[in-house]
Structure 1
Amino acid sequence: MPVDARIPDEMTVAPLPAARSFVATLRKPSHILVAISGGSDSTGLLLALHQAIAEAGCDRLRLSAVTIDHALRVESAAEARQVAALCLELGVSHVTRRWEGAKPASGLSEASRLARYRLIAEVADEIGADLVVTGHTIGDQRETVAMRAARNAGGDNLGLSGMADAVLYDGRHWIMRPFLACERQAIRDYILSRSQSWVDDPSNENTGYERVRVRQALPGSAACLDAEAAVKRRKLSEKTADFLRGHVQVFHAVLAGIPANSVAPDRSEFRHGLAALIATLGGRAYFPAASSMERVLRFLKTRENGRMTVGRVLLDRRCDGLYIFREQRNLPELQIEAHGQGLWDDRFLVRNGSAFPILVTAGRVDDAPGAEVLFPSAPAGVAKPAMAGLPQIAAAAPYATYLTEGVNIRPRLAPFDLFLPRFDLELANAIAVLCGRATYPQPPV
């Protein structure tokens, strides 16, 4: 079995102590779902958690396991059975889920990742798991930081914080990484000490994948992790949350207003908060690119009134402040069948509880009285176009009637609702409250 070349790092922890520490800090009772592929990292995680829980003698911690068969290799089904056999030996309940259907010709890695987490979450729901754990290691962390650094060499690149130790998936499942400070070889040594084995996935040596190329290049690199990067990101998130709570208003999750004396392009919390608002109001999963934000900040530093677009939103600078709302272009129409649901413009989840199909369209820009009622403190030139960013519900067929109370509309926070790293939790909660949403759940440690 190939051994990873490693960069020495004082921050590493042996796998069993890492598992013991995780078990000790975990809120109890808890049902832990281990995502295990059969590779060394996830196999070592299952074994170490099983041993740590047994040593602690804690009957308020329960361990289950799930294997996702991506059906990309002929060997994958047999490997899943091998994992099931290990779980049976340990007395750990195990489920295998297969990613069915056609696979995309391009973007396979990302599609696989999304399918994997979706299937894991389904199992977590079914068995009532309180959290999911994965076997990501410090080697994975180095690779992630190296890839993000290659895409953006700027000192303000938040990607240099790497993977968070905990990520909230779909607003409901915390995914935690107890081995994020563990070396892969140490994990393999631990597995061998338990007289167990693991499966080597040949795709981990396929240089067609960016991560594999970065992994193979890392041993010759002097680069190392910045232990403070994650702390800096968390502190920026908290500082930005304070700024948003004290200086920003968001109306009906479609229009944000920042008073003129709070527009401060040179302050990091303003820049970060503005990027978060642009992504949220534009329905984008990612904050604007650095080049786009530089363009926005140059515009704001002129202190001149005017408009510009970025990330599907319009920034309208006026004497009384800065307004941000969805631009009117490319607003969709969406039909939702009776008792169905759909995502409109990536910004609103619409549930149709009526007995008839409905049509979701953009609001009417010419509805001046409605704009005045919904946005009373905004200038008419802002309030009226902001109306277009609101979903409007109508019957999908002329003969149909429906009860408006049967239709539920909930703002979706695109940068945070699918994957929310723990160090951005305070920022996400501040935006959730501004948009009339409940805050996100806290992690179980």
Structure 2
Amino acid sequence: MPVDARFPSEKTVAPLPAARSFVANLRKPSHILVAISGGSDSTGLLLALHQAMAEAGCGRLRLSAVTIDHALRVESAEEARQVAALCLDLGVPHVTRRWEGAKPASGLSDASRLARYRLIAEVADGIGADLVVTGHTIGDQRETVAMRAARNAGADNLGLSGMADAVLYDGRRWIMRPFLACERQAIRDYILSRSQSWVDDPSNENTGYERVRVRQALTGAAVHLDAEAAVKRRKLSENTADFLRGHVQVFHAVLAGIAADSVMPDRSEFRHALAALIATLGGRTYFPAASSMERVLRLLKTGENGRLTVGRVLLDRRRDGLYIFREQRNLPELSVGAHGQGLWDERFLVKNGSSVPIRVTAGRVDDAPRAEALFPSLPPAVAKPATAGLPQIAAAAPHAISLAGDVTITPRLAPFDLFLPRFDLELANAIAVLCGRAAYPQPPV
């Protein structure tokens, strides 16, 4: 019986059964794009999926492959050609994309990751693929958990759940990891049984990278993943979503209000909801640090009124409840060209459908009539600063035209819009609906 790889555990599954289970559980016809570097994990994934689909006679499924050449080593172009030759032998359509341009002197791993997924998504768009798969293994999972545990040893560290088996990229395309319960050696044994080979990337031995140092430290060590950590994280996400739906109002995607009797700092779902709202309304990719949340919770546990700034948002505890909105400092001005688009304050996507450039600026805190019109039921001391956190649109030059209908403004949910793990899907959907956005798409498996 195939192991359910949706949650990390120390139970492992052989690569071919993992591929068979993945193919069998796809709910609809799909065009699968395999991200393959030429290393053993991704090569094994391509071979196993190709075999599983051939065995199943899956006319409803298509398989393609993409290789991203990061251009960081002179050998990378030849390695990409070797992958292309393998795909040609298998009859799998293959595309290579190269990461062009200057590379950053610091933060290279993160920059490479962002570039890789951006290029993969571009290829998926071009060929009509609706699902991307990667070759992450249970070894990668152990390393990820070890790195996150080293940064935060607390029992409430959500990072101990490890990598999700599925991540939604850019709010529209699921990236899945069918081999997350597979051991690397088992994958290599399978490749050899198919009379194939793989490429060993020397950067996997470069101790300048944190993951390599952790991998070497884990070699031969008895490392055990907590099989319940991912279950607990998903349950917390679901409970938090329920709390948000029942106790929180969000106005115009800039201001959240929680009634006084719903401020419950001792409840885990309240704390998690509060962290998610702070990150979303502040335009931050990550939830606030544990130390920042401790300051917030100390204030709330006193039951006294007060204000506190965390993660670019102001938390205003008043007699009638708690209000959360973007602080007024460092609100930017953005120029968007004709028929262009831009991201304002990391919180709003502005699309300019007009034939003239526009300027996007913050609202005015002294615009009492607008504040009253937008937030008629809220205290003026809350409504006016919240109004200042809304984008305002004007033509970049004094053109005698109306921009009405030509410019669209959509809330961006910074913690979820780029990478959304399956664990947090229900939580993200609850916040999306509160902010006037459509729910995120469901994963195909």
Q: Which residue of 2 aligns with 1:254?
A: 254
Q: Which residue of 1 aligns with 2:193?
A: 193
2:214 maps to a residue whose letter is: V
The answer on 1:358 being equivalent to 2:361 is no
SS of 2:94's equivalent in the other structure is strand
Q: Does the Cα contact within 8 Å between 2:33 and 2:63 map onto a contact in 1?
A: yes
The answer for the alignment partner of 1:76 in structure 2 is 76
1:337 — aligned with what?
337
The letter for the 1-side match of 2:195 is S
Matched residue SS, 2:63: strand
Q: 1:365 to 1:278 in 2, by over 3 A?
A: same
Q: Which residue of structure 1 aligns with residue 108 of structure 2?
A: 108
For residues 265-280 of structure 1, what are the structure 2 equivalents within 5 Å? 265-280=265-280
Corresponding residue SS for 1:292: helix
2:24 alignment partner in structure 1: 24
| Change over 3 Å in CA distance of 1:56–1:347 after alignment to 2 | same
Alignment-derived partner of residue 208 in structure 1? 208
1:281 alignment counterpart = 281
Query: For residues 220 and 443 of structure 1, what CA distance do their matches in structure 2 show?
Result: 35
Q: Percent identity?
A: 89
Q: What CA distance in whole angstroms lies between the structure 2 residues aligned with 1:416 and 1:256?
A: 18
Alignment of 1:79-90 (within 5 A): 79-90=79-90
Corresponding residue of 1:6: none
SS, match of residue 101 in structure 2: coil
Matching of residues 374-389 of structure 1 within 5 Å:
374-389=374-389
Q: Which amino acid letter does the alignment assign opposite residue 440 of structure 2?
A: Y
Q: Could you list the runs of 5+ residues in structure 2 that have no partner in the other structure?
A: 1-8
Question: Who is 1:443 aligned against?
Answer: 443
| 2:297 alignment counterpart | 297
Give yes or no for contact 2:10–2:227 (8 Å, CA) kept in 1.
no
Contact 1:356 1:402 in 2 (8 A): no
CA contact (8 A) 1:354 1:402 kept: no
C-alpha distance in structure 1 between counterparts of 2:354 and 2:433, whole Å: 28
Query: Equivalents in 1 of 2:285, 2:10: separation in Å?
Result: 34
| More deviation, 400-409/244-253 | 400-409
What residue identity is the alignment partner of 2:219?
Answer: P
Moved more, 373-382 or 132-141: 373-382
Deviation of 1:13 after TM superposition, in Å, equals 0.5
**For residue 238 of structure 1, what is the aligned residue in structure 2?**
238
1:402 shift after superposition: 4.0
Matched, 1:156 2:156: yes
Q: Distance in 1 between matches of 2:229 and 2:62?
A: 33
Is the Cα–Cα contact under 8 Å of residues 41 and 137 in structure 1 kept in the other structure? yes
Change (3 A) 1:400 1:100: farther
Query: Alpha-carbon deviation of 1:220?
Result: 4.7
* C-alpha distance in structure 2 between counterparts of 1:409 and 1:59, whole Å: 41
What one-letter code is carried by the residue in structure 1 that aligns with 2:83? Answer: V
**Does the aligned pair in 2 maintain the 1:257–1:322 contact within 8 Å?**
yes
Structure 1 residue 58: deviation in Å? 1.3
Question: Cα offset for 1:66?
Answer: 0.3
2:340 maps to a residue whose letter is G
1:171-182 matched pairs, under 5 angstroms? 171-182=171-182
Give the superposition deviation at 1:223: 3.3
Letter of the aligned partner of 2:320 in structure 1?
D
Q: Which amino acid aligns with 2:309?
A: T
CA distance in structure 2 between the aligned counterparts of 1:204 and 1:183, rounded to whole angstroms: 17
Deviation at 1:296, TM superposition (A): 0.6
Distance 1:268 1:221 in 2: 33
**How far apart in 1 are the matches of 2:257 and 2:301?**
17
Take 1:399 and 1:352, find their aligned partners in 2: how far apart are those partners?
Answer: 15
Does the residue aligned with 1:343 lie in a helix, a strand or coil? strand
Residue aligning to 2:129: 129
1:377 Cα deviation from its structure 2 partner: 1.7
Deviation at 1:395, TM superposition (A): 1.2
Per mean C-alpha deviation after superposition, the further-off stretch among 277-286 and 291-300 is: 291-300
Q: What TM-score, normalized by structure 1, do the two folds share?
A: 0.97
SS, match of residue 54 in structure 2: helix
**Superposition map of 1:403-418 within 5 A:** 403-418=403-418
Aligned residue in 1 for 2:54: 54
1:325 aligned counterpart, secondary structure:
strand
Shift of 1:398: 2.5
Q: How much does 1:27 deviate?
A: 1.9
Please state whether the residue corresponding to 2:417 is helix, strand or coil.
Answer: coil
Normalising by the residue count of structure 2, what TM-score does the alignment of the two structures yield?
0.97
- Equivalenced residue count is 437
User: Is the partner of 2:142 in helix, strand or coil?
Assistant: helix
- How many angstroms apart in 2 are the aligned matches of 1:283 and 1:360? 16
**Separation of aligned partners in 2, 1:391 and 1:414:** 16
Cα distance in 2 for partners of 1:47, 1:303 equals: 60
Task: For residue 169 of structure 1, report the CA deviation from its aligned partner.
Answer: 0.1
Q: Could you tell me how far apart the structure 1 residues matched to 2:13 and 2:113 are?
A: 27
Of 413-422 and 371-380, the range deviating more from structure 2 = 371-380
Q: Contact conserved, 2:23 with 2:52, CA < 8 A, in 1?
A: yes
Shift of 1:219: 2.4
What SS is found at the alignment partner of 2:71? coil
Aligned equivalents of 1:171, 1:325: Cα separation in 2:
24
CA RMSD of aligned residues (A): 0.8
1:120 is matched with 120
Q: Structure 1 residue 400: deviation in Å?
A: 5.6
Q: Distance in 2 between matches of 1:16 and 1:286?
A: 36
1:215 Cα deviation after fit: 0.3
In 2, Cα distance between equivalents of 1:399 and 1:355: 11
C-alpha distance in structure 1 between counterparts of 2:156 and 2:220, whole Å:
25
- Kept in 1, the 8 Å contact 2:10–2:225? The answer is no
Is the contact made by 1:355 and 1:402 (CA closer than 8 Å) also made in structure 2?
no
Matched-pair contact (CA < 8 Å) for 2:10–2:224: no
Letter matched to residue 441 of structure 2 = P
Read off the aligned partner of 2:410 and give its amino acid letter.
R
How many Å separate the matches in 1 of 2:400 and 2:233? 51
> How far 1:404 moved relative to its partner?
2.0
Cα deviation digits, residues 218-259 of structure 1 (max 9, x gap): 125433100110110000000000000000000000000000
Q: Encode CA deviations 1:259-281: one digit per residue, 9 max, x unaligned.
A: 00000000000000000000000
State the partner residue of 1:396: 396
Quick one: which amino acid aligns to residue 104 of structure 1?
P
- In 1: Cα distance, 2:318 partner to 2:13 partner: 54
Instruction: Identify the residue that residue 39 of structure 1 maps to in structure 2.
Output: 39
For the residues of structure 1 that align with 2:67 and 2:293, how far apart are their CA atoms?
41
The answer on whether the counterparts of 2:31 and 2:129 sit within 8 Å (CA) in structure 1 is yes
Partner SS, residue 351 of structure 1: strand
- 1:306 aligns to 2:306 (yes or no): yes
| Residue 3 (structure 2) aligns with | none
CA distance in 2, matches of 1:138, 1:299: 41
In the alignment, what sits opposite 2:67?
A: 67
Aligned AA (2:282): G
